[in-house]
Amino acid sequence: MALLEVDDLVVQFYTDDGVVRAVDGISYEIRAGETVGLVGESGAGKSVASLALLRLLRSPGEIVRGEIRFDGRDLRECSAAELRELRGNDIAMVFQDADAALNPVYTVGEQIAEAIRAHEPVTDREARERAIDLLERVGIADATARYSDYPHEFSGGMQQRAVIAMALSCDPALLICDEPTTGLDVTVQAGILELLADLARESETAIQLVTHDLGVVAELCDRVLVQYAGEIVERAPVEDLFYDPKHPYTAGLLASIPRLGDDRPRLATVPGTMPSLVDPPTGCRFHPRCPFAEDACARRNPSLVEAESGSPAVDAGPDTHLAACLEYTGDLVGGLDYEVRVRDESEDVADDPCRERKPESRRGDTR
């Protein structure tokens, strides 16, 4: 039994424009101690999926279907008190934008100590000492003095470190990091990534890392889930994903990573934008943006299958490479015509599929 098992999770938002299915039937698992990346563009439903795990969604968002089992317990069945026990204690979260995640009117130290006091029978003094230890552990110099600083007296990187310290305060089994480095300077990002990498390596803590940054994924993750328009379209161990992306969306994402020494006149992008989830495209949700789309793609929504054999994902082990594309069920006539070139030993590169493909083969053209 994995530490976290998410099964067919559906999250909806009720908006004036209609019902938005931000998360549409995703299933995945995270084993104890492993780091799993959840990747996709803005609006793919990554953050919503993470908030749903702790049932932190606020109206008008609602989990309408699915199971979230943590250590065998279904979190959807938990009472408010049981949930409070879990939050911050067994499952902790690190949010993006640490500046906003900290309460401006309490000291950083107090906000960490408070998390400890909420879950463990400690005296104020013990909580304070442990908070100082945590600040030291995440690399805050002069932690004792910094304990009494207010968030605005911390730099952005230090704020994010403090938020991580807060999340680690009760030794969670699972840490959910939602875009932990977004909005930070590149050099500061590197520091935070290093901190998270140390955590992932040294502690028993499993990490779910939500990001749109494939570089971060390459750096930290054991396995990767690629999310598109509320669905998981590819799942693979991290090396397989970078060397051998199976889904055209993943290939597009990889191609759009800017590289040093790149001689292309423009940055590659995945053309188009994430579709509206009020009225998602028929068939495969990626087909309007996919350079390899055929008529069948507009009609049939591919399910997640083993990329090698095309057999259903339910039977696959956690390290099997899965993708949701008609290619792998043998329903694509033209096939996926992109190749992956590895430029040097450290860089894994997928060519821009949108440039490789000739225009007449786009969806809607007759063959």
Partner 1 sequence: MSLGRYVLTRIAVAVPVLLGVTVLTFSFIHALPGDPIDALVGFRSVSPATEASIRAEYHLDRPIWEQYLLWLRDVLVLEFGESPITGRNVMATVGRRLPATLALGGAAWLLALAIGVPTGIVAAVRHGGPADELSRIAALAGIATPNFWLGLVLLLLFGVRLGWVRVIPPDAPLASLAMAKFMLLPTITLGTASAAFVTRLLRSSMLAELDATYVRTARAKGLRERTVILKHVLRNAFLPVVTITGLQLAFLIDGAVVVERIFSWPGMGRLLVRSILQRDYPVIQAGVLLIGVSIVLANLLVDIVYAVLDPRIRY
Residues of this chain that bind partner 1 (CB under 8 A)? 51, 54, 56, 58, 80, 84-89, 92-93, 95, 97, 100-106, 111, 114-115, 118-119, 150, 152, 163, 166
Phi, psi of 228 (to 5 degrees): -140, 125
Residues ≥6 apart with Cβ < 8 Å to 121: none
Nearer to partner 1, 112 or 290 (CB): 112
Specify the amino acid at residue 356: E
Q: Which is nearer to partner 1, 59 or 187 (CB)?
A: 59
Residue with tokens 């099964």: 7
Residue nearer to partner 1 on the CB measure, 176 or 350: 176
* Residues 6 or more apart whose Cβ sits within 8 Å of residue 257: 214, 215
Please write down the HEC assignment for all residues of 266-289: CCCCCCCCCCCCCCCCCCCCCHHH
- Angle between helix 156-168 and helix 124-137 axes, rounded to 10 deg: 130
CB of 83 to partner 1, least distance (A): 8
In the complex, what is the shortest distance from the CB of residue 140 to partner 1, in angstroms, rounded to a whole number? 18
Q: How far is the CB of 119 from partner 1 (least distance, A)?
A: 6
Helix 108-119 × helix 124-137 angle, to 10°:
120
Q: How far is the CB of 167 from partner 1 (least distance, A)?
A: 8
For partner 1, the closer of residues 101 and 323 by Cβ is 101
Report whether 27 contacts 230 (CB < 8 A): no
The dihedral through the CA atoms of 198, 201, 207, 211 has a sign that is positive
Q: How far is the CB of 109 from partner 1 (least distance, A)?
A: 13
Least distance to partner 1, CB of residue 288, Å: 33
Question: What is the pairing mode between strands 18-30 and 4-15?
Answer: antiparallel
